[in-house]
Amino acid sequence: MRARSLLLRFVIVRRSIAAVLTVALVTLSVSVTQARRPTVAEWVRHLRPVLPSAAAIVEGPSAPASDPAPATPAAQRTLTLLDRIVRQTRSTRYNHRTIVDERAGRYELDCSGLVAWVLARSNPRALAAIRSSRPVAAEITATIARSPEDRAREGWQRVRRLADARAGDVFAWRNPRWLHGLTGHTGFIVGPVEPVRGYPTMFRVRITDSNTSGYASDTRPLGTGGLGTGTATVTIDPSTGAINGIVVGHLGASWVLPLNVEIGRLH
């Protein structure tokens, strides 16, 4: 009995550490000024376990997708620009300093650097509304959160429900305090929202961002970061339809990192 208990504890610890590593590499943009990194105990305390395997959730069948068409001309301009730069990328890496050479296909930026660079060319009014010379994910999140839902203001309209998201929308979140200086993440929705068959509060979303690593079905080579497009799996609050978590997984274990994700429509 004792041996069985020890074996069970080993499996739980192994899966917890695997999930921690996956979250750190895949879903979060790390601030270079953070005071300290979260401990394994902090990760495990805040992550929510998911019963099905990671592969079944991240790579399993989807239900019919939502309409992928952009909702506004501004969103269409953004999508066109994103498609062009992803296709022409020759070298890329995650970098807190924005270095772009379009002729050479070189894109070195972090998540908010990418959003700022794209908005400067596709929707300067929306960029100006953030009121920062160099926006970070937390500021983009706040800009979307204070925007009205029934109309556009200063180039932004808040989209509360994931089901209403369209290609060309911006996503952003501010990380909880326990992450100790990790600022958050931001990027663009570029494809339809696909329900995960059999899991009514889970959805797959095709996104373009700059990150330290990729997602499922990603344009970035395995183990590399920078600019790219991949498929993230998220959860929603069934009462509001808003995104309330990101699904992460490794070595057969899957977990939900609770996050309040904002979606902003460009006008």
**pLDDT tens sequence across 173-210:** 998 877 766 689 999 999 999 998 888 999 999 999 99
**pLDDT tens sequence across 105-159:** 999 999 999 999 999 999 999 999 999 989 999 999 999 999 999 999 999 999 9
pLDDT of res. 189 = 97
Q: What is the rounded CA–CA span in Å between residue 181 and residue 174?
A: 10
Q: Spell out the domain ranges in the chain.
A: 2-266
pTM: 0.82
**In this structure, are residues 127 and 174 in contact, taking their beta carbons and an 8 Å threshold?**
no
